[in-house]
Structure 1
Amino acid sequence: MQNKAKKPHVLIFPFPGQGHINPMLQFAKRLHSKGVKVTMVPTVFLSKSSFFDSSASIDLCIISDGFDEGGFEQADTPDAYLSTFWNVGPKSLAALIKKLGHTAHPVDALVYDTMLPWALDVAKQFGISSVAFFTQSCAVNSVYYHVYKGHLQLPLRGSHVSLPAMPPLHVSELPSFVAIYGLYRAWFDVLVDQFSNIDEADWVFFNHFYELEPQVVDWMSKFWNVITVGPTIPSIYLDKRLENDKDYGMNMFKPNVTACMSWLSGKPKDSVVYVSFGSVASLGIEQMEEIAWALKDRNGYFLWVVRETEKPKLPHNYVKETSHKGLVVTWCPQLEVLSHESVGCFLTHCGFNSTLEALSLGVPMLALPQWTDQCTNAKYIEDVWRIGIRARPDEKGIVRKETIIRCIMELLMEVGKKGEEIKKNSIKWKNLAKKAVDEGGKSDKNVDEFIAKLI
C-alpha cells in the first residue's frame, strides 16, 4: 500500500537516433505532466553530445552501448554497432534497473523502443511492466510483421503485395529493406526482429492517433494490447496544456533558429517551400542538383535544410546565387517552420516524424522518399490521407526539376485543382490530430488508462 501511494516510475528507453528520441521524449513529458515520475535512458555518448532541455523535468540515467566516445559513428559498420550494443546494452540496462530498485523510486514500467527487443527480456527479468513503443507507422510495421511470420516470402515475386487491412502496395511502395532484399541486411534484421518477443509485452504503443490507420490498428489489436498515444509532438502545437513545451528538447544538430524565423517573417502567406530530408537521408549528387535547379528556376521563396555533410553536393556558388529568394541552413527548428503561416508546402523525405508533424500542422507535402519506411509513408500521404503528392522518379530513379516544379505549383494552388483538395484534407487531419490529444481525446484517454494500470 505504501508503494502504491507513490508516483509510478517509468523508464523511457529509445533507440539512440534523433527520429526515435523525439517522439519518446515527448511521450515522457506527457507522462510527467500527468503525475508520473519519468526517467529517460540515453546512451553515454548521446547524453554528452545532445542539447537536452533540463526544464522538461525529465530525469536522465545513462547506459552504455559499447561506443561511449563516438556512438554509432565510432563503429566500423552497422553490424559492428548493433552486435556490440546488443551485447553490452542488456547488462547496462539491467544494472540501471537494479540500482534504481534500491532507491525511493524503483521502476514500475519500461517503455522501450521496439528496435531494442532485448529490453523486454530485461523488464521480464525484474518483473516490471513492459511497453513496446513503435516509432514507425502501423502500416510499415505490419509489413515487417508479415515478413517475420513468413507470410511475405523474400525476395518478393511479382509487382504487387496485398496485406490485411492495407491498400494494395506496389513493391516500390514497400519499406526499402523489404523491397530491395539483402541490400540493408543489418537494419532489415533489426526491424524484423522487433516481433521476436513482442507477444510478451504488456502493451504495444504507436506514435499516431487512431483515425490515421483505424483498419491496421484494429487488425493488430487482435494479437496485442495496442494503444495509440500520438501524435507525440510538443504541446504548444496541439493541446497547449504543457506550458513552455515548444520543442522536443533534445537535438543532435543545433538549429539556426534566429536565421530561419527572421527570414520567414514578412514572407507572403503560403509562399515558402520548406525543404528537408531529415537527419539521416543522404541524396546523390544528381538528385541534389535537380532539386537545386528546380528551386532556383521556379524563382519562388524556399527554405532548404542541407546538413553540413551534404553541402558539397550543392552546385557551385548556389547559396549566394539564390540568396534573394532562398535560405540554405544546416538545421532548423522544424516545428516552428512548419507552423509559420508563410510556409505553403513541405518537400520531404517522408520520415514518419516529419510526416506526422506536417500532418498535425496542416502543411501539404511533396513526397520525395529515399529509403526505409519512407516509400510506404509517401503512398499513404498521397493515396490514403490525400495530403500531398508523390514526385515520381524517371527510369534512372531521379526526380527531375520539371516534375518538382510542377508538383510545387500544384500544391501552392498555382495550377490545377489538386492543391485545393489537398489543402482541405490537410486542415481536416490537423483538427483530428489536435482532437486526439486534447483533454478527453482518444490518445489522451489511452495514456490515462495506461497510468491507471500502473497505480
Structure 2
Amino acid sequence: MGEKHKSTKPPHVLLFPFPSQGHINPITQFGKRLNSKGVKTTLVTTIYISNKTLSNNTSIPIEPISDGFDDGGHQSADSSESYVNKFREVGSKSLADLIRKLNSEGNHIDAIVYDSFITWALDVAMEFGINGGCFFTQSCAVNNIYYHVHKGLLSIPPNATVSLPGLPNLQPSETPSFVHNPGPYPGWAHGLFNQFSNIHQARWVFTNTFYKLEEEVIEWMRKMWPLKVVGPTVPSMYLDKRLEEDNNYGISVLKPNHTECMKWLNDKPKGSVVYLSFGSGGKLGCEQMEEVAWGLNESNVDFLWVVRETEKEKLPKEFVAKGLVVGWCNQVEVLAHESIGCFVTHCGFNSTLETLSLGVPIVGMPQYSDQTTNAKCLEDIWDVGVRVKADEKGLVRRKNLALCIKEIMEREQGVVARRNANKWRDLAIQAVDEGGSSEKDINEFVFHLKA
C-alpha cells in the first residue's frame, strides 16, 4: 500500500541557483517547464534573496537557507573570496538541514538541480543518496573556455590567439574577463574554473542554450558529460506559447516601471526606439555613464534606458534625455514590443538569449565576465549586430556608440542583423516547441524522474 501511494506522487526536484537575479531566472523557467510535465519543484535560495524578493508569480514555492550573510547578501561580504568560502561552509549545512526537514514532512526529493557555481551542492546531494544535475547558466562557448583553464590547457591570461574545439579563433581580449584579466575578481574567477571539479559525478548536466545556436561546442561537450540542452529559458508566451500563463519570469528582486515603459513605447513608431540595459549587476563608471548619455544625444534617436536607482547619480546633471530613463523594466516585454529597433546590451547570456529569441539586433557593449565572449559570438558568429570598440582606457566613447547605433538603426548592416536575428528567433522557438531539441531533452529528464 505504501509503495503504491509513493508511486502516485509526482517526482520532486529542488532547484538551487546561485543567489542573484541573473542565475535565478533561467533555473526558475526550467522549473516551470518541469511543472507543466507533472514534476513538483521547489526553489532553494538564500534568506537575503528570499526577503528581498518583490514578487513570486510562479507556482514554484521558495525554501530559504542561510549563506552566512542573511542581512546583506554577497554585497555585504569583505570580498568575493570570503563570500564564496562562507557560502560553502554555511550553505552546505543549511542545505542538508533543509533536505532533512523536507524528508521529515514527507517531501521526498528525487533530484537536486544546482547552479554550476555551487559545486558543493552535489556533495550534499550525494550524502543523502540524491541524484544531482549541474545547471550551466552561461553559454557552452564560455564553459568550453573555463574547462580548458580548469584542466591547465589554457593559460591565464592567454599569451596568444586562443583555438579551442568548436569555436572560432579568439583574441585574448575576447575570452571572458576572468581569463584575460582575473585580477579584480579572484574569488569569482576561482569558482568559475572550479565548476568542473566534480562534474563527472553529476547524473545530468543541463545547459541554458539551444542546439542550433552552439551545435559544434555542444557535440564536443556531449562526448564528456551527459549533457541536456534545455534553453532558451525565456517565458513561454514569448516562444512556443504552450504555457499560457508564463508571460514573465515571475520572481523579481527589482521593481519594474512596467506601466510607464509600456505607455511610452506604445506612442513610438515601429522599430524606432533604442533600448539600453547593462543588467541587474552591471555598474558603469561615472565617465562611462557620461559617454553613453552624450552618445545617445548624438545618435538622435528615441531611447529607453534602464539605469538602476543606485546608479542614477552618475548621470550628467545637464543631461536632458530624448527618451525615457527608468530604474528597471520587464525586459522580455520591452524587447517584444514592435517599437524596439535595437538593443544596446552588456551581452550577459540571459540578455543574449532574450534578444535572439525575440529577433532584436544588438549593439554589444560588454563590461566583464562572459560578456566579452558573448559579444564576439553575437557579432561574428550569429551576425546579429555590432560591437562598439573601447579606447585604450577601456571606455566606449560617445562618437563610437552613436556610430554603432546609426549602423543598426539606419544602414544596411542593421537590415542584415535584423534578418539574422529573426532567423535565430525562429530556431529558438523550434527548440522548445513540441518535438524540438530542447523539449526532447527535458522530456527525457522527466522520464528518468518518473521511471
TM class, shorter-length: over 0.9
For residue 157 of structure 1, the aligned residue among 159, 162, 179 is 159
How far residue 454 of structure 1 moved from its aligned partner, in angstroms, is 0.9
1:326 aligns with 2:323: yes
Mapped partners of 1:156, 1:377: distance in 2: 18
Q: Partner residue of 2:393?
A: 396
Counterpart Cα distance in 2 of 1:448 and 1:235: 16
**Aligned-residue offset at 1:410:** 1.5
User: Which residue does 2:9 correspond to in 1?
Assistant: 6
Displacement of 1:228 after TM fit?
0.5
Displacement of 1:73: 2.4
How far residue 330 of structure 1 moved from its aligned partner, in angstroms, is 0.9
What amino acid maps onto 1:285 in structure 2? C
Contact 2:271/2:340, CA 8 A, preserved across alignment: yes
Contact 1:12-1:41 within 8 A present in 2 as well: yes
Q: Which segment is superposed worse, 305-314 or 261-270? A: 305-314
Q: Is the aligned partner of 1:284 residue 2:281?
A: no
Shift of 1:226: 0.5
Q: 1:346 aligns with which of 343, 346, 356?
A: 343
Does 2:434 match 1:433? no
Partner in structure 2 of residue 47 of structure 1: 50
Give yes or no for the alignment of 1:117 onto 2:119: yes
Q: 3-state SS of the aligned residue for 2:275?
A: strand
Partner of residue 413 from structure 2, selected from 418, 425, 431: 418
Partner of 1:142: 144
Shift of 1:181: 3.3
Secondary structure of the residue aligned to 1:168 is coil
Q: What is the CA deviation profile of residues 253-280 of structure 1, one whole-angstrom value per residue up to 9, with x for unaligned ones?
A: 1010011111001201000000000011
Please state how far the C-alpha of 1:70 moved relative to its aligned partner. 1.6
Structure 1 residue 203: Cα displacement: 0.7
Q: CA deviation at 1:182?
A: 3.0
* CA distance in structure 2 between the aligned counterparts of 1:421 and 1:332, rounded to whole angstroms: 28
Q: Is the 8 A contact 1:51 1:249 kept in 2?
A: no
- Amino acid in structure 2 at the alignment position of 1:358: T
Q: Distance in 2 between matches of 1:141 and 1:298?
A: 36
Partner of 1:37: 40
For residue 99 of structure 1, what is the aligned residue in structure 2? Answer: 101
Corresponding residue number in structure 1 for 2:84: 82
Spell out, residue by residue over 1:239-298, the C-alpha distance to the aligned partner (whole angstroms, 9 max, x if none). Answer: 111122111111111010011111001201000000000011111222211111111122
Distance (whole Å) between structure 2 residues aligned to residue 336 and residue 164 of structure 1: 36
Q: CA deviation at 1:154?
A: 2.5
Following TM superposition, by how much is the alpha carbon of 1:406 offset from its aligned partner in structure 2, in angstroms?
1.4
Kept after mapping to 1: 8 A contact 2:79/2:187: no
* TM superposition shift of 1:388: 1.1
- For 2:260, the aligned partner's letter is A
Name the residue aligned to 1:64.
66
Aligned-pair distance for 1:421? 1.1
Displacement of 1:53 in angstroms is 2.1
Q: Does 1:260 align with 2:255?
A: no
Q: SS of the counterpart of 2:65?
A: coil
Take 2:431 and 2:123, find their aligned partners in 1: how far apart are those partners? Answer: 32
- 2:367 maps to 370
Contact 1:272/1:343, CA 8 A, preserved across alignment: yes
- SS at 1:358 equivalent: helix
CA distance in 2, matches of 1:185, 1:398: 23
Q: What amino acid sits opposite 1:12 in the alignment? A: L
Could you tell me how far apart the structure 2 residues matched to 1:451 and 1:199 are?
Answer: 21
Of residues 282-291 and 264-273 in structure 1, the stretch that sits farther from structure 2 once superposed is: 282-291
Inter-partner Cα distance in structure 2 for 1:305 and 1:288: 12
Share of identical aligned residues, percent? 56
Displacement of 1:186 in angstroms is 0.6
Residue 64 of structure 2: SS of its match in structure 1?
A: coil
Q: Return the alpha-carbon distance in structure 2 between the equivalents of residues 81 and 88 of structure 1.
A: 10
Tell me which residue corresponds to 1:27: 30
Instruction: State the Cα distance separating 1:350 from its structure 2 match.
Output: 0.4
Structure 2 gap segments, 5+ residues each: none
- What is the CA–CA distance in structure 2 between the aligned matches of 1:8 and 1:64, rounded to whole Å? 25
Secondary structure of 2:45's counterpart equals coil
- How big is the shift at 1:100? 1.6
Q: Decide which of 421, 438, 444 is 1:443's aligned counterpart.
A: 438
Q: CA deviation at 1:104?
A: 3.0
The CA distance in 2 between the partners of 1:181 and 1:267, in whole Å, is 43
How far 1:300 moved relative to its partner? 1.4
- In the aligned structure 2, how far is the partner of 1:427 from the partner of 1:128? 41
Does the 8 Å contact 1:109/1:128 carry over to 2?
A: yes
Query: 1:67 is aligned with what amino acid?
Result: F
CA distance in 2, matches of 1:392, 1:230: 30
Please, which runs of 5 or more residues in structure 1 have no aligned partner? none
